[in-house]
Amino acid sequence: MTQDSSADLPLSPAEVRARHEANRAGWNEGAQYYTTLIDSTVAFISAGQSNLHPVERRNLGDLRAWCHTAIHLQCASGKDTLSLLNEGVRQVVGVDISDVHIENARQITAALALRAPEVGAQATWVRCDVLDTPHALDGMADLVYTGRGALCWIHDIQAYAEVVTRLLKPGGVYHVLDEHPITILFDLEPETYVFRGASYFGHWEASVGWPSSYIGDSLGIPAAEQATKVGRGWTLMEIFTALTRAGLTVEILGEHPDPYWDIFPNLKPELRGIIPLTFSMLARKKAA
């Protein structure tokens, strides 16, 4: 089941919260897939490996040289968050709305405290709506990090940008690598790009189930019986404007053919790389 609309935007604060809570329920189901990956994540991180994407590494440079504390918004079960430690960040805080994701992250950290004590001591986790990220974290972050399927679950991009700004230290950096908003225009499964009739502007949709190349049917719950989640497409202009209105200066805006997941698994090889699959943005808070 999918609803598709752009007619009822912008949303009231109450509707934003209602959609975020729907996504909490959806991700508490979806995160059960990540629970099956706990052991492999522990092994990956304790071996010193990193899940940072090449685009992220290129934009951020040597994290050891400048990043003491990173706050990862929408951290899922923590693999990318903990990878930041292996990249040289000294302390990480992960924030996610899903109870299951945060419990997974805490289990991973507890296991790492035995296998890699220095890693286990440097990671903490917060379960909340990203818009409610605790004020105790304000001004702590050299880096606010996010992406890879994150922004589509946010239904008030300006409120989100204001959270980012308050978390950053003066001179601190925000970075996102996420799906390019053009990808919402196409069906994921065909061999060629098939326009699905969605609007690039103000698009949102409610859906159940997960793409076959992602979680798919691995949850053991019939798709029709799964919780309804609500996604939102943000244009690059909307993201850029929200960050600048919140007081940040955008220094990097990139559009990339590089994917971070198998978004079009059946696409003919000759069609790969002709549209941007991801974008990146790096913004900085003014130094004191």
pLDDT for 202: 87
Going from N- to C-terminal start, the domains of the chain cover: 2-285
Per DSSP, 6 falls in state -
What is the Cα–Cα distance from 196 to 174, expressed in whole angstroms?
A: 32
- Which amino acid belongs to residue 109? T
**pTM of the predicted structure, to 2 decimals:** 0.92
pLDDT for 1: 40
Going by C-alpha positions, the residue among 76, 281, 285 that lies closest to residue 162 is 285
Measure Cα distances from 192 to 250, 268, 269 in Å.
Answer: 34, 6, 10
For the chain, 288 residues long, the average pLDDT of each consecutive 10-residue run is 53 93 92 92 95 97 97 97 95 97 96 75 94 98 97 96 98 98 92 91 85 69 81 96 98 96 92 95 95
What is the Cα–Cα distance from 237 to 234, expressed in whole angstroms?
A: 8
Going by C-alpha positions, the residue among 183, 202, 155 that lies closest to residue 259 is 183
pLDDT for 225: 79
Taking each helix axis from N to C end, the angle separating 38-46 and 99-115, rounded to the nearest 10 degrees, works out to 40
pLDDT for 224: 74
Taking each helix axis from N to C end, the angle separating 79-86 and 38-46, rounded to the nearest 10 degrees, works out to 10
Going by C-alpha positions, the residue among 68, 67, 69, 47 that lies closest to residue 59 is 67
Residue found by looking up tokens 């923590």 in the block? 78
Going by C-alpha positions, the residue among 196, 179, 159 that lies closest to residue 256 is 179
pLDDT for 8: 58
Phi, psi of 21 (to 5 degrees): -70, -35
Q: Which fold has domain 2-285?
A: Rossmann fold (3.40.50)
Measure Cα distances from 156 to 40, 151, 224, 232, 245 in Å.
Answer: 34, 10, 28, 9, 13
pLDDT for 2: 46
Phi, psi of 144 (to 5 degrees): -105, 120
- Which amino acid belongs to residue 59? N
User: What element of type H or E holds 30?
Assistant: helix 13-35
What is the Cα–Cα distance from 180 to 197, expressed in whole angstroms?
A: 17
| 3-state secondary structure (DSSP) of residue 90 | coil
